[in-house]
Structures are given as structure tokens and as C-alpha cells.
Amino acid sequence: MKIQLFLALLLGFFGVLGSAQAGDWAHYGGDAGGSKYSPLAQITPENVRSLEQAWTFSTGDVEERTSDEMRSSALEVTPILADGRLYMCSAFNEVIALHPGTGEQIWRFDPEVATDRRPGNQYTCRGVTYWVDPDAEPTARCASRIFTGTVDSRVISLDARTGEPCTGFGAEGIVAIKPEIDLWWPGEFQITSAPVIAAGKLIIGSAISDNARAEAPRGTVRAYDVRTGEFEWTFDPVPRDASSPVADSWSEDGRAITGHANVWAPMSVDEDRGLVFLPTSSPSPDHFGGTRPGDNRYANSVVALNAATGDVVWHFQTVHHDVWDYDLPAQPSLITLQRDGEPVDVVAQVTKTGFMFVLERDTGEPFFGVEERAVPQDGAPGEHLSPTQPFPVAPPPFTPQKITPEEGWGMLLFDEWSCESRLAELRSEGLFTPPTLGGTVLYPFTGGGANWGGMSFDPERQIAVVHTLSIAMEVRLIERDAYDGGNITNDAGERAPQVGADYAMTRGVMLSPLGVPCSPPPWSSLTGIDLSDGTIAWTVPLGTIEKIAPVPLPFKWGAPTMGGSINTRTGLAFIAATSDDKFRAFNTLTGEELWQADLPSSGAAIPMTYEWDGRQYVLIAAGGFGRTSVEMSDQVIAFALPE
């Protein structure tokens, strides 16, 4: 391991000059509950157009990595500000401390991850976690710490002042996670999101490659003593024990062999209640559930655990018996709403299906109500579909959920005809149409709806802001004896064996001959949801197609990629998350675009904001998204008003 102590002796022991208390962004989601809200008020709707670039920082990956390595990565990090420093991780898990006012590197830690692992979820690191030991002397080594997870499944504890490993944690600062079964290749199992800390426990999930096999790595959530790294508890979303209260939602064989249902997205913490909230994913494999009859509870669920013990306090399933890869992809948002003039603490969970489920935080009961409604049946032979699925009474869906052949879209007439013809050949009965041998339209596709960018929330205006995609995908099951082997993921889609299931599968975004989505625009939107009454306040296209169309066109049809928004006290929503390489500010109440700036590549990340020496900064990682970006970058860019 290499540690570059750039200015560490000077700055590590005497601190960085300046102060940043009320303006801290100390957690990945701004706060432990993931509201992505800042009380800062220096930047307003009236002056936001004056924002200018204040500083930039480059991780060095563009110069040091090969083109193939960069194309297998995504700079999705949201830095945090704590104890007078910015802390972040690169796509390749290097942890870096920066000066908040200049972007100057203070220290850097390189865990030296191998770049030949073929991670199913790219080389990426969405964030790090900061913790202060309340029992340590402030000047003691590792009195404050930075924790991170890596692509090779290590959990690392670093001294926040110097970047040196905290040797009392695990083995010389490292806990190596070993999956319960052998991996088929090194990148089948990884960590992409920051851990959380609650009740003295460091709690961490995992990301697992989709669709290779039914008997896949388990989606176990693990907790360790935050000081020592000693094992504390685990929670497996697939109940292996027949005595589990949800065991009857699985077959006996399904409980034994099924993997996944992992927590790859960020978790949230309510420290006062001693709860950690998990957004669980789909069980293996994604598109055929014949090996796991039943609703498969704890999968595709918001699960509230006792942070001290790992025991389930409550759970709410958003998709029964998932065969669409409709994971819960985003951090649960712990927010407070009003009912009859009284505050009610809730959990708001956005989903790939385009639904937002709002649940009371103490019980998991729906705040606005949820109905079980009949959904399409007649899946592939051997499938065991749920006859109903949960539909929120409010808010309404924030993305379209059905497409007909007549709605097939193209830039030119022949383009449109091609999409209409393809849609007419596939089964398309709306949300929850099951995968079939003849081909099925998934709309929304497996990327959402919402994805890991999640939602941000303005508590004064009671507005949630959600970045959403609206793209159709074709998924097709393949008879086992007709599958000729291989597991391929590329720009055209994915083809995978689903070993142990009756069928292999192929899936891909439906594109016209000219390379644009067959679903009608906008393909990327920003939506404001009024949670005072559960209604859609506004929806606007997010981005132009000038960089993704065959000819540069400035049409506001939405420029899809990943990322999310933040809100500020003055009624601003900041977001990048477009393939037109822009960073934008919107009016939270109306959705009006107020400002935009050019980025070196797409900002496939969630921004953050902080105050330093009396100046408010808004920061975005603009590194691109390896699978879709034309140009890759490795920059973190801070904007501020002129001094």
C-alpha cells in the first residue's frame, strides 16, 4: 500500500485554517438520513447565475490508467466535508483528503486494487464515511477516522488526519470480507457504496453481478465494531432458517440456494431510534423465479433493523417475486411530513418502477396508503408470478409505465417505423409484464425510473426532487438447450446464462436505427413531488441530446445518465446527471432552470454543498460514466459566487 502524505505533517496535526461547522456535509446524503438538503443560504435563485468555477481537482486516473480501465469505471463519488476537510474516493478506491477552499490535496491513500477483476458494477466508489471516537483524546492517532469499502471487498479504516491505516481495526486497518460461496470470477462481488455507522457498529452491504447463476453469492449485510473491526452481526435478506417469520414466502429449496437480495445502494440511519434502513435488491437470478416460488420477502424491501443487534424491526416489500430486476436502488430518505398539523417521521423510498413509497418510520405502515392490484400473468413455463403487486395510492408514478407500438418513437419516419415494428412484436402490457421466450418490453427499464441518485428533499417547501429515466428495454428468455454459452455485457446490452434456472436471458435498451431510444422523449427528467399532499408539482426534461444524437441537436429531450440532486434552503435544486455534460440549478418550487455550467464529462454523481471561510461552494464529480460517456474525465469541480 502507498500513502502519499502531501502536507500531512503541516496540516494533519495543526488542522486546516478555516471553519466549517454549520456548513458541513458530513455524510454521503448530507445527513445520516439521506435528505440531501443543506441549510446554507448564500447562493439564491437571484444570484445563482453568477456562479463560477472556484477550483478543480484531478484524481490523476486519466493520465495514469489505460483507456480500457477508464471505460470500466465511473467517478460516482459525493465527497463529504468534516473536521475542516473534504474526503472522497476515486473510482479505483483511492481515498483522498482535500483543502475545502482550494482543492489542494492534503493526503492520499492507495489500497492498490487490481484492475483486472472485471467488476460487474464497474470500478466505482460512491463515498466514504467519517467517524469521531468519543472516547479518544482529540490528538490521539485515529481519534477521527475515514472508512471505505473496495472493489475487492475490503473495509478499510484510516486516520482522518493523516490517511494512515488505523492498525487496531481488523488486520492492520483492514477487514477482508469473504463471501459465503466461492466466486466465479474476482469481480462478481464488490463494495460500491459507503458504509454507515450506528450503535457503535460499522454496517456495510455489497454489490453482486447479475444473472450469472441462481445459486449466487449471498446479499449479507455485515456489522463490525467500529473501533476494532471485530464481527458483530449479519443480516441475510434471504431467510435460510425455517423459523424466520417470512420463511413461508419462499420454497425450502429457494431459501437454501438463492443469492443476492443484497444492499448495494447506500443505507440510512436514525440514531435516535437506533435503526438502520436497508434498500434490498432482487433475488437471483433477475428474470426467472422458478427456482424461488413465493413473494421472496426481505428481498425488494425497505428493511428496518435494530442497529445494535441486526434484528428486523419492520419491513415493507415494494415488489413481490421480482423477475424484472426492480431492485430498491436508492438510499431511503428519512424525512418529516405533516399530518393534521402534526409532524410525522417517515421513510421515503424511490424505486426503479417510478413509484415512491412513503412509510411511517416507526412501523413501516404506508403514510399515503398502498393497494394490492392485479398485474399481468402467464409468465414462462415454470414461473411462479405474484398475482398482485403493491401500488402506492400517492404520489402518482413519476415516470411512464406502459408503452404501445403506436408510441414507438424515431427521429425520422423510417426510424419511427422500425421502433413501432419492434414494439409490436413484443409482449407489452404495462408495468410487471413478465419476461417471456418471445420477448417482453420492460418499461421502465432496469435502470429506472429512479436509480442510485435517489431523491432530495426540501423540508421547508415539502418538495422531493427526483431524477428519473424513461427508457424501454427488451428482455427475452432463452431455452437452456438453445443457449450457446457466454456472459457478455456491452453497450448493446447483456446476455447471461442464469445457470441453475430453466432459462438464460438477454436484455438491452430498445434503440432506433439512428441510435436513440424507441420510447418517446423526454428520456431523462427532473420531477418535483409535493409531499404535503402527495401530488406531482412539476416535471421538466433534464438535458439536451446534442451529444448523443447522430447530429448535434439542442432539443430538450433529456440526456440520460446516472446521478442525483441536492436541495438548499433558498429553494434551489442542483443536479448534473446528464450526458450533455452540464451542471444545472433549478427552482425547487417550479422546476424552472436557473443556471447551467459546462463540465469536462458527465457528472454521474450526486453533488454536495458546503461553506468554507464564509463562502458557499457547490461541488460535483465530473468523471463520466464509462459505459455511456463520450469523453471520460477524473475531475472534481467546485463552483462559488465571485469573491
> Beta strand 455-458 with 503-509: parallel, antiparallel or unpaired?
unpaired
Q: What does the CA dihedral 613, 617, 623, 624 come to, rounded to 10 degrees?
A: 170
Please give the Cα distance from 508 to 274 (Å, whole number): 41
For Cα atoms 177, 178, 182, give the angle at the middle one, nearest 5 degrees: 150
**Known catalytic residue: 210?**
no
Closest-CA residue to 76 (of 577, 472, 614, 593): 577
Which neighbouring-strand residues pair with 114? none
The set of residues, in sequence order, having a beta carbon less than 8 Å from that of 319 and lying 6+ positions away, is: 282, 300, 326, 351, 353, 389, 390
Type of residue at 121? N
Closest-CA residue to 325 (of 286, 268, 359, 267): 286
Cell digits of residue 275: 435503526
Please give the Cα distance from 278 to 34 (Å, whole number): 12
Chain centre to alpha carbon of residue 158: 24
Type of residue at 261? A
- Residue 48: helix, strand or coil by DSSP? helix
Please give the Cα distance from 64 to 61 (Å, whole number): 5
Sign of the dihedral through C-alpha 303, 309, 311, 312: negative
Please give the Cα distance from 601 to 574 (Å, whole number): 17
Which neighbouring-strand residues pair with 40? none
* Options 322, 325, 415, 458, the catalytic residue: 325
Kindly state the DSSP code that residue 188 receives in the 8-state scheme: G
Cell digits of residue 514: 439512428
Cell digits of residue 68: 480500457
Kindly state the DSSP code that residue 10 receives in the 8-state scheme: H
Q: In Å, what is the CA distance from 479 to each residue of 195, 436, 441, 482, 485? A: 40, 10, 18, 5, 12
Cell digits of residue 40: 446554507
Q: Is 445 within 8 Å of 452 (Cβ atoms)? A: no
Cell digits of residue 464: 422531493
CB atoms within 10 A of CB 345: 16
Which neighbouring-strand residues pair with 3? 109
Please give the Cα distance from 593 to 70 (Å, whole number): 32
Sign of the dihedral through C-alpha 160, 162, 167, 170: positive
Secondary structure of 377-435 in the HEC alphabet? Answer: CCCCCCCCCCCEEEEECCCCCCCCCCCCHHHCCCCCHHHHHHHHHHHHHCECCCCCCCC
Which residues participate in catalysis according to the annotation? Answer: 325
